[in-house]
Structure 1
């Protein structure tokens, strides 16, 4: 626990936009603190907690975190919303959420454990005094809303939800929202799902995000010479492959129903190689992501399937002669 003594986690800037949207919808005055975070890529977890406390004091509604989460849109979730589009099942989405959770909400480390026939997702390790009931509510409710946004049905069946703080007067509100037993004064804040839920399918992609990816694909195609129908399919396969971290030539060839040798021969006729084509896609995508002020360099590196931010920075400098930071400033 020692490493959390002076905990200084952070949250994604889009969550500041979520609080702004909620405040506007409720007719609340926008505080100076809330206004200041609107243009930030990330801001401190302590400030996030303070903003939630401010809103709680003004509205004084029960289950505030659940009410705020109702207003979440894909744009508030950043990288997770981009990547969720490529998920096929609830299990895959939870795997992604676990991997990238701290980029969205670094208020608590996320842990996943199997308990018999159930999967427990908990927010542990953060000392009790650094959380509030509202910070825990919104952490759990945001994850549930994330799942609901991308599933092809409305209900995710939950076994139980646990909170660490004492039970409020209106426990029924929580049980109605989650559709299950909700326990308070527990050791961990957690959501417990039946394992069979993990096989549930996702819809074929949120239309807004699908449109975003198609715009990116089209922008890539327009910049490539000698574009054929096969080239278009290659571009789209690489684009989606980068989202899934399956961008190597073998899975791309499989997706195109081609052998690796056939794909290499086609690209050779175009005077290029698979590695060059994939790097062209990364380069053009990088420039589009850098135009989004809320995407940090670490997030962009992950979106482009770089294991390290430094590898992305080196590649970008080779492509443009500028670092990503320099290129972004030049666009202002």
Structure 2
């Protein structure tokens, strides 16, 4: 119990940039503590909570967390944004979010559970002094807002949203934002939605990410002396497979409607192997990700399918004869 009481966790540095953007939009004087975290990959959750509470006390505006969340951009969420924008439906995005949510906030674990036809999404209970209404509402609003505005999932239909804190004066602001019944003074803060929502396809994937993936696919093809339609599809399958952590040869061959042996034979005719081709893709994507200062080396390693940052660093050194840190310092 003592360990739980003392543990506060940390949040992704992009959330500090989001709060900074809100201060700028409202033409408010930016606190020194917020300025100090602008160049950090992560900072303490208690500081995030205190910054939000101080702003809430200063403005005393209803639904302040919803207004801050309305400014969210993919860069504020880092790896979660990259992964979600490559998913085909809400169920896949939620599964990946469950895997990586601690990169946004590593306090309490995320719980996703089905109750009949309803699925609940909530964070495990934290000590009462660690959460407030504004921290809960911004966490839920960021998730919902990102789905609506950047995954083009505008028809998302929530069943209910629950908050554990007493109801504010204007509940209508919350119900207008979430477009569902919002209840307060509940046992926990959570999002409830129908299970059938998980299978709804996203209307369109993020064009920026798709452009990046296609650009890299074409760049790789230019290195091949006699590229074919199979080569083009292979590059794209590996690129998206890395995003979804489904890049093993059996998954890629299946996407191409080939057997593993057929794919291996095709690559053998070009004097290469699947492992070599995948490393080419990883090397090129690693350079693209390193150009994004918001992504940490740990996040880039995960995006490239490495379970350990050290494995990514060793591979990068073999590819380009320098460490990722050295490469990034030269390019930024």
TM above 0.5, one fold?
yes
Q: What displacement does 1:78 show?
A: 1.0
Give the aligned partner of residue 149 of structure 2: 149
The answer for the alignment partner of 1:325 in structure 2 is: 325
Structure 2: distance between partners of 1:41 and 1:219:
30
Instruction: Tell me how far apart the structure 2 counterparts of residues 159 and 21 of structure 1 sit (CA, whole Å).
Output: 31
5+ unaligned residues in a row in structure 2: which ranges?
A: none
1:51 aligns with 2:61: no
Report the Cα offset of residue 151 of structure 1: 4.4
Q: Which residue of 1 aligns with 2:41?
A: 41
Would you say 1:10 and 2:3 are equivalent positions?
Answer: no
- Residue 132 of structure 2 corresponds to 132
User: What displacement does 1:135 show?
Assistant: 0.4
Matches of 1:210 and 1:63 in 2, distance apart? 34
Equivalenced residue count is 331
Report if aligned partners of 1:150, 1:202 keep a CA contact under 8 Å in 2. no
Residue 86 of structure 1 and its aligned partner are, at CA, apart by 2.2
Please state whether the residue corresponding to 1:159 is helix, strand or coil.
strand
Distance 1:208 1:327, change over 3 A: closer
Following superposition, the deviation at residue 150 of structure 1 comes to 4.5
Residue 63 of structure 2: aligned partner: 63
Q: Deviations over 1:288-332 (max 9, x none)?
A: 212222111221111011122232233223323433334334445
Counterpart position of 1:226: 225
Which piece of structure 1 moves more, 126-135 or 101-110?
101-110
Structure 1: any 5+ residue segments left out of the alignment?
none
Equivalent residue number for residue 204 of structure 2: 204
Paired with 1:3 and 1:217, the residues of 2 have a C-alpha distance of 48
Displacement of 1:153: 4.3
Q: Residues 150 and 203 of structure 1 are in contact (CA less than 8 Å); yes or no, is this contact kept in structure 2? A: no
Match of 1:71, SS state, is: coil
Helix, strand or coil at the partner of 1:43: strand
* Pair 1:261-2:252 in alignment: no
Residue of structure 2 equivalent to 1:242: 242
Quick check: 1:105–1:139 contact (8 Å CA) kept in 2?
no
In structure 2, the partner of 1:75 is: 75
**Shift of residue 275, structure 1, vs aligned partner:** 0.6
**CA deviation map 1:107-153 (0-9, x unaligned):** 54211111122111112221111111110010111111122134444
Query: Is 2:137 the partner of 1:103?
Result: no
- In structure 1, what is the equivalent of residue 26 of structure 2? 26
2:285 corresponds to = 285
Q: Distance in 2 between matches of 1:218 and 1:20?
A: 37
- Per-residue CA distance 1:154-211 (angstroms, 9 max, x = gap): 2321122111222222222212222222222222111111111111111231222222
SS in 1 for 2:8: coil
Cα distance between partner residues in 2 of 1:52 and 1:155: 30
Residues 16 and 217 from structure 1, CA distance in 2 versus in 1: closer, same or farther, beyond 3 angstroms? farther
3-state DSSP of counterpart to 2:38: helix
